[in-house]
């Protein structure tokens, strides 16, 4: 078994962090959907206003990625999928 396989616990921890961040995104008319977690990389889909916002990259990297890397062991990166 590979050490890079995402555990159910890690997936749940990512969801918990996203749930903490979600109210801030929703306040601006957006939201986030967890698509996948694999090999320490979280794949997210930004929805609503966040999906087309020019600041979405900053939101993704400076906000969401920072929180996930700090709070969930093994997470190294967050990427946006469309």
- Asked if the structure places residue 3 within a domain, the reply is no
Which pLDDT does position 5 carry in this prediction?
A: 63
pLDDT tens digits, one per residue of 15-74: 999 999 999 999 989 999 999 999 999 999 999 998 888 888 888 999 999 999 999 999
- Asked if the structure places residue 36 within a domain, the reply is yes
Contacts of 73 (CB under 8 A, 6+ apart): 10, 13
- Asked if the structure places residue 2 within a domain, the reply is no
Give the C-alpha separation, 22 to 32, whole Å: 7
Q: What is the pTM of this model?
A: 0.88
- Asked if the structure places residue 45 within a domain, the reply is yes
Total domain count, the chain: 1
Token reading at 67: 């929180």
Question: Residue 50 maps to which CATH number?
Answer: 3.30.300.130
Q: How confident is the model at residue 2 (pLDDT cuts 50, 70, 90)?
A: very low
- Asked if the structure places residue 42 within a domain, the reply is yes
Instruction: Please give the residue range of the domain that contains residue 17.
Output: 8-80
Q: Over range 3-25, report the average pLDDT.
A: 90
């Amino acid at each position: 078994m590979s050490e890079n396989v995402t555990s159910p616990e890690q997936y749940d921890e990512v969801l918990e962090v996203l749930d903490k961040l979600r109210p801030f995104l929703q306040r601006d008319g957006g939201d986030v959907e967890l698509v996948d977690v694999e090999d320490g990389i979280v794949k997210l889909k930004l929805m609503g206003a966040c999906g087309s916002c020019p600041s979405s990259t900053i939101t993704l990297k400076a906000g969401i990625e920072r929180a996930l890397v700090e709070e969930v062991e093994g997470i190294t990166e967050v990427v946006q999928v469309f």
